[in-house]
Amino acid sequence: MTINYVDIVCGLSWGDEAKGKITSQLSLSGQYDYVCRWAGGNNAGHTVYIKGEKFKTHLVPSGIFYGIKSVIGPGCVVNLKSFLSEVKYLNNAGFDTSLIKISPKAHLVTEKHVRDDRKETYIKLGTTARGIGPCYASKASRHGVRVSSVEELKEYMWDEELQGNILCEGAQGFWLDLDYGNYPYVTSSATLPYASCSLGFPPQKIRKIYGAAKVYDTRSGIDPEFPESLLDDEDLALVGEAGEEYGVTTGRRRKVNWLNMDKLVKSINLSGTTNVILSKVDILESVNIYKFSYKGAIINFNSIDDMKWSINDILNLECELLKTITYSSSPQKI
Ligand code: IMP
Ligand code: MG
C-alpha cells in the first residue's frame, strides 16, 4: 500500500488555537491510518476531551486517544523523562501506548539543553524552558544526539514508510515559525505545513490543510508585538479571564489582543489553508465585546453575527485557496 492522502492541522497564530480539538474530531472520523507530529517537542501542550474528560499531552500525537498509530517524526525533539512520563500517564488512563512510534532520526533533548534554556539569553526570549532551542542548535551544528542511541526508547523506534491516509498534527503556530515569526521571539522549528513533508511524503499527497485560529489573538511568552501593556486593557482582560488564557505547558498568563485580520489573511495564504476553524466564539459572546483589527484600525461590531459576516467577507475576498470557514463555540467539539 502506498500513501493515499495527507491532511494537515496547523496553527495560524501563536499556538493555543485548539489544534488538539480539531485533530481529535478528525481522528474520530476513522479515516486515518496514522496521526503524526512533524516538529517541536514538549514545549507544546495539546488539550483533548474524551467523553467529557480532559487529557493533556505534550509530545505524543492525539491519535493515541483513538487507537491510531501515532508517529513522532524525524523533525521532532524528544525529552526522555518527559516522554516516558507521558507514556505512563496515557497507559494509566487506559490508552494503547504500543501505538506510539518514534523516528530514530528525531533528536534527544538532553539535561544540558534544558539547563542552557534556563540561562539569560533564552530567558530574555521567554521560552518554555524545555531545552528546545539548544537541542535544535545542537542538531543544526551536527553534534546532536539522535533518539536511536537511547536504549530506553528502543521499543518505540519505527523507521518504516507511512501508508494509507495520514493526518499531520502541527505544534505551535504560523507566527512562531523560525523563519516567519517575529525573530528571535520564535520557536526553533518550522511550524508551517510544508514542513510536514519531512515525515516522508511528497507535497503532492497533501489534500486538505485545516488552519486553526481563534476569534481573538493570544500570545504566551515574550513578544514585542504583544506588549505587557495589553494586560492592562480592561476589555482584553475580560476576554483573557473568560477564555482561561493560561499556558497548558507553563501556566503563564497569555497576552490577549483583538484578532489581527491582516496577519490571519497572510497565515492562511502562506500556509495553504483550505479549511479554517475559528474557535472560542463563545468567549467573545460571554463578554459581549466584538472587535478585530484590519489594515491597522480596530473595528467594533454590535454582535457576533456582524463580526462573523465581516470576517467571512475579508477571507473570501483575500484567501484564494480557502474553501470553508467554520466557527466553534465549544472546547470539546467543532
Ligand atoms: P520554545 O519553543 O520553548 O523555545 O519557546 C519559544 C517561543 O514559542 C516562546 O514565546 C513560547 O512561549 C512559544 N511557544 C512554544 N511552544 C508553544 C506552544 O505550544 N504554544 C504557545 N506558545 C509556544
Ligand atoms: Mg497548545
pLDDT in tens, 115-133: 999 999 999 999 999 999 9
Ligand 1 atom with the shortest distance to the CA of 189: 2
Report the C-alpha dihedral over residues 260, 240, 250, 136, rounded to 10 degrees: 0
Share in percent of the chain as helix, strand, coil (round to 5):
35, 25, 40
Cβ neighbors of 206 (< 8 A, separation 6 or more) are: 5, 6, 7, 8, 193, 196, 272
Residue 250 has pLDDT above 90, yes or no: no
| Measured distance CA(124)–CA(131) in Å, rounded | 14
CATH of domain 3-327: 3.40.440.10
- Cβ of 44 less than 6 Å from ligand 1: yes
Residue 53 has pLDDT above 90, yes or no: yes
| Measured distance CA(188)–CA(328) in Å, rounded | 30
Residue 249 has pLDDT above 90, yes or no: no
- Cβ of 221 less than 6 Å from ligand 1: yes
pLDDT digits (tens, 9 = 90+) for 23-44: 999 999 999 999 999 999 999 9
Q: Could you say which ligand is closest to the alpha carbon of residue 46?
A: 2
Is residue 225 classed exposed, middle or buried when 0-12, 13-18 and 19+ CB atoms within 10 A define those classes?
Answer: middle
46 given a catalytic annotation: yes
pLDDT digits (tens, 9 = 90+) for 60-73: 999 999 999 999 99
Residue 248 has pLDDT above 90, yes or no: no
- Cβ of 127 less than 6 Å from ligand 1: yes
| Measured distance CA(216)–CA(237) in Å, rounded | 12
Which residue, chain included where needed, has cell 523560525? 178
Q: Could you say which ligand is closest to the alpha carbon of residue 44?
A: 1
Ligand 1 atom with the shortest distance to the CA of 171: 19
Identify which of 94, 112, 305, 133 has the alpha carbon closest to the alpha carbon of residue 215: 305
What's the whole-number mean pLDDT along residues 266-288? 98
